[in-house]
Structure 1
Amino acid sequence: MKWNSQILNLNAYQPGKSIEEVKRAYNLEHIYKLASNENPYGYSNKVKKVVDEEGSSTFSYYPDGYATDLRGELSKFLGIEPTKLIFTNGADELLHIIAKALLASGKNTVMATPTFSQYKHNSLLEGAEVREVPLIDGEHDLNGILDRIDHQTAIVWICSPNNPTGIYISDANLQEFLNQVPKDVLVVLDEAYFDYVCADDYYDALSLVNKYSNLIVVRTFSKIYGLASFRIGYGVASEEIIKALEPVRQPFNTNVLAQKAALAALKDQEFVTRCRNLNREELERFYQFCDQHSLKYYPSQTNFILIDFQCDGDEVFSFLLSKGYIVRSGKQLGAPTCVRISVGTREQNEGVMKAMEAFLNHTSAIK
């Protein structure tokens, strides 16, 4: 086969272990998945109603490729023109579309490390040079990123709050950075977790889109809205950027149920607020646990926390897995001595904290 050379050394994305897989492996009755940053409170009852009603509908017709109803409602909700939106099969597809539209052999792209793995993966697929700038104590080194930009740079990827550290960029720092990025370099601002942010000095990304013509904001309904299985995300940018990206998008990339579910979810902002508040309360409990046990952690503006156990992250991962808790080893995320834990319900969090305490007691006993 005449495979493109750039794919030969790439690995497929490795999702977290499934609940059924762990049940079989460890012969456990109850498994709690805290690995993929999903909403433990599910989704709005308004979404459930739509799904139940649509279950009897015909699915023999193609979906609305323009997502007209969702586009109209979301544009009103965000206070922007409908022509500044693009809808995709999860935010992941939008990241892929952006890479495909701008990157190629001979071009380069700049990003932090560690950050969301698909930026690098998609860039390598297109044959571009990847320039990675290490985080500084979990934060983007914005000056370091600026230093790596040159005339062949096509995209800069910024994840705020960052995955896997959960740390955000302040409004002042982000605007200072954007003011220095060349206007022919697209800045991709991935805001998958912005609905969880409570920081007072967080920026207003939509106003920045109006101010910076080389900025696109990427968001998703997968996280706080709880629609991960529906796969629907969106981007906000100038009409010129959206117009350039649209031909790269597949014609019917978002399905009927996803569009209707997102529309219903958008109309229940009380659910969103409740989830944000519950998440913040539970994050504070994780902070207290870490402080009590002298564990380093990164203060998070997301629905996950990255904890440094100062040992092999796979070891912590395996121990917690044996207790019925699926988390994410930091070795897969560029933080080899850490684990990333999604914030669950009060009951789930209490359970995983007890399991972590058991691990700490186990390791101290061995020493």
Structure 2
Amino acid sequence: MGIRDPHIVDFSSNINPAGIPDSAVSALRRGLGRAAEYPDAGSLDLVSALARYTGLGRANILAGNGAAEIIYNFCSTLVPGRRVLVPVPTFAEYEAASRLAGCRVSFFKTMNLADDLDRFVSRIPKDGCVFVCNPNNPTGSMISKKQMSRIVAAASARSCMVFADECFIELTQNPEESVISMVKRRENLLVLRSLTKSFGLAGVRVGYAAASKETVRILRNVKIPWSISCMAQEAGIAAVKDRRHLQRSRKIIRTESEFLRNKMSQIPGIQCSPSSANFVLVRTRQDSARLQKKLLRRGVLVRDCGNFRGLGSNYIRVAVRTRRENLLLLRALEAVA
């Protein structure tokens, strides 16, 4: 919505409630001293830091200007014109990027892919691509590593790519369910990550993909040079060195997510979906756009989910924030729900 009012508490963006690591803030300040320089076009130091962080080789890592750059380059370069399967509701950029690349997009309606896995696997297109957001935005549902591995194997048998978006997985209580290590042996798998979500660097724009050496090579050849600023590279390098920040973040999210869901569920007309992520999908008896406006007048911005394919006009999504901020949301909801 373009809201930048300091008096508005933003629950519409799923940013780490612990904020940016202090080390990344210091790195951003250092990066200002290089503002007159061109950044390293290949982001080599950042790629090396990400390789160490993930336990992969540098040839398996592609850095990007946020996750969106990678999504669009992937679709235009690796799957143009192909058949694409997208579970819905989910992040809208998969559909947008696929259509821009001339793909034939089909949808699979599910609120929890784990419950519908057999049907989903049967729909995997030959010589195409499937997108899986894990945990899923906006539902917060999550599939296990074993279940994702089954999708990757079934897709491989049909010469189909799997785009696994794990931008929120590091903020879940089960980050070990990631399939990022599988890219070394599965040519048809790409795993997307974002420092925007994990380390709170939304305004800095740093994302990365992990994939086979050949997939990374192809994507590097089409990547816009100098797309990651000096400051973003410095902040990214500093952030991934601070694993304790993620541990602190998961602790906050575990406590506050449980608190928020329990309290919201006690409000008449509010129904919370189970969530593994740092956000909660909420079904309301009111029209979501109307409810969003009512809450905004009380200083709280939530995500109206009416434009998510596969959801109706009675869903909002709220990010898990600090206890003080979550109490503001609860008071506002109690007043208008």
TM-score normalized with structure 1 length? 0.85
The match for 1:197 among 172, 175, 182 is 172
1:140–1:169 Cα contact (<8 Å) kept: no
Whichever residue aligns with residue 341 of structure 1, its letter is V
Are positions 1:49 and 2:23 aligned together? no
Q: What does residue 3 of structure 1 align with?
A: none
**Aligned partner of residue 167 in structure 1, secondary structure:** coil
Q: Return 5+ residue gaps in structure 2 as ranges.
A: none
Superposition pairs of residues 12-27 of structure 1, within 5 angstroms? 16-20=1-5
Whichever residue aligns with residue 66 of structure 2, its letter is G
- What whole-Å deviation, never above 9, does each CA across 1:248-298 have from its counterpart, x for those lacking one? 111222111100001111122222211111111110011211332363222
Q: What does residue 82 of structure 1 align with?
A: 58
Indicate how the Cα distance of structure 1 residues 191 and 344 shifts in structure 2: closer, same or farther if over 3 A, else same: same
Q: What does residue 258 of structure 2 align with?
A: 284
Q: What does residue 101 of structure 2 align with?
A: 126
- What whole-Å deviation, never above 9, does each CA across 1:30-70 have from its counterpart, x for those lacking one? 21111111233321111121222332x24333211221112
**Aligned partner of residue 62 in structure 1, secondary structure:** coil
Q: What does residue 151 of structure 2 align with?
A: 177
Q: Distance in 2 between matches of 1:349 and 1:226?
A: 18
Q: Distance in 2 between matches of 1:41 and 1:206?
A: 24
Q: Distance in 1 between matches of 2:41 and 2:137?
A: 30
Superposition pairs of residues 1-367 of structure 1, within 5 angstroms? 16-20=1-5, 30-55=7-32, 57-105=33-81, 107-137=82-112, 141-151=116-126, 153-183=127-157, 184-199=159-174, 203-293=177-267, 295-334=270-309, 335=311, 336-360=313-337
2:145–2:179 Cα contact (<8 Å) kept: no
**Displacement of 1:86:** 0.3
Count of equivalent residues? 333
Indicate how the Cα distance of structure 1 residues 214 and 82 shifts in structure 2: closer, same or farther if over 3 A, else same: same
**Aligned partner of residue 228 in structure 1, secondary structure:** coil
1:19–1:32 Cα contact (<8 Å) kept: no
TM-score normalized with structure 2 length? 0.93
Q: Return 5+ residue gaps in structure 1 as ranges.
A: 1-15, 21-28, 361-367
CA RMSD of aligned residues (A): 1.9
Q: Distance in 2 between matches of 1:150 and 1:46?
A: 44
Whichever residue aligns with residue 19 of structure 1, its letter is R
**Displacement of 1:154:** 2.3
Indicate how the Cα distance of structure 1 residues 140 and 223 shifts in structure 2: closer, same or farther if over 3 A, else same: farther
Percent identity between the two aligned chains: 29
Structure with the bigger RCO (C-alpha within 8 Å, sep 6+) is 2
Indicate how the Cα distance of structure 1 residues 145 and 36 shifts in structure 2: closer, same or farther if over 3 A, else same: same
Indicate how the Cα distance of structure 1 residues 168 and 210 shifts in structure 2: closer, same or farther if over 3 A, else same: same
Whichever residue aligns with residue 93 of structure 1, its letter is E
Larger Rg over CA atoms: 1
Q: Distance in 1 between matches of 2:321 and 2:150?
A: 35
Whichever residue aligns with residue 36 of structure 1, its letter is S
